[in-house]
Amino acid sequence: MSHARVALLISGGGSNMVALVRSMYGTHPARPVLVVSNRADAGGLQLAADLGVPTAVLDHRGFGGDRAAFEVALMDLIDAAQPDIVCLAGFMRILGPEFVAHYAGRLLNIHPSLLPKYRGLDTHARALAACEHEAGCTVHEVTAALDEGPILGQARVPVLPGDTPQTLGARVLAMEHQLYPAVLARFALGERDLVRLEAGDQT
Ligand code: GRF
């Protein structure tokens, strides 16, 4: 059986990347082929190497603010690994229309809110400030608009009394690690139906 080839883009700790890489074994329809970070100090790079996945760094700061040039170089780097699917996993750069178009239909992202609520940053603080009773995360296909694109999966968690952005964020992150692999496994088989997870579904 030929596996779908997956490239993963990170900027930081890479816990979602690790969850995805660990999920791709056995009968899973995909395999990780590359982890790219735009930061040389991203903790996830060593974790990926420890898991036996090739890694690369492309520092956006070397492009002097020329986002288009950075993205051309990033596409070259990614395409050399011939991925079928590209997963953004805590990749903290906004990607322009050329990049998004180049990977149309095979570019996924995870966002720590129940989209369409709370696009952008500081999602947990904003959810708490709005007195939400539930929060969660969303895996979606990436389109040109920030944190939009077809939703492929959502996981919900309760907001608990006394929650801080940190405690809520940790609860959501645990669900991110369940949701993203669940969506990727289906996506790699061409399935686009919505995956729904609740906090109690954690194994
Ligand atoms: C996650 O909360 C993800 O949703 C957000 O950035 C965080 C990345 O964490 N976009 P990690 O690098 O996967 O640990």
Structure confidence at residue 1 (pLDDT): 66
Q: From the alpha carbon of 169, which atom of ligand 1 is closest?
A: 2
HSE (side-chain half, CA atoms, 13 Å) at 137: 26
Structure confidence at residue 141 (pLDDT): 97
Q: From the alpha carbon of 109, which atom of ligand 1 is closest?
A: 10
Catalytic residue among 111, 124, 140, 177: 111
Structure confidence at residue 49 (pLDDT): 98
Please state the pTM of the whole predicted model: 0.96
State the 10-residue block means of pLDDT for the chain, 203 residues long: 94 98 97 98 98 97 94 98 98 94 97 96 98 98 89 98 98 98 98 92 56
Portions of the chain given CATH number 3.40.50.170: 1-103, 110-203
Structure confidence at residue 146 (pLDDT): 77
Q: From the alpha carbon of 111, which atom of ligand 1 is closest?
A: 4
Question: For 1-103, CATH number?
Answer: 3.40.50.170
Question: For residues 34 and 7, is the Cβ–Cβ distance under 8 A?
Answer: yes
Active site residue 177: no
Task: Enumerate residues lining ligand 1, CB below 6 A.
Answer: 10, 12-17, 44, 89-90, 110-112, 173, 176
Q: Whose CA is nearest to atom 5 of ligand 1?
A: 90
Structure confidence at residue 107 (pLDDT): 97
Q: Whose CA is nearest to atom 9 of ligand 1?
A: 90
Question: For 110-203, CATH number?
Answer: 3.40.50.170
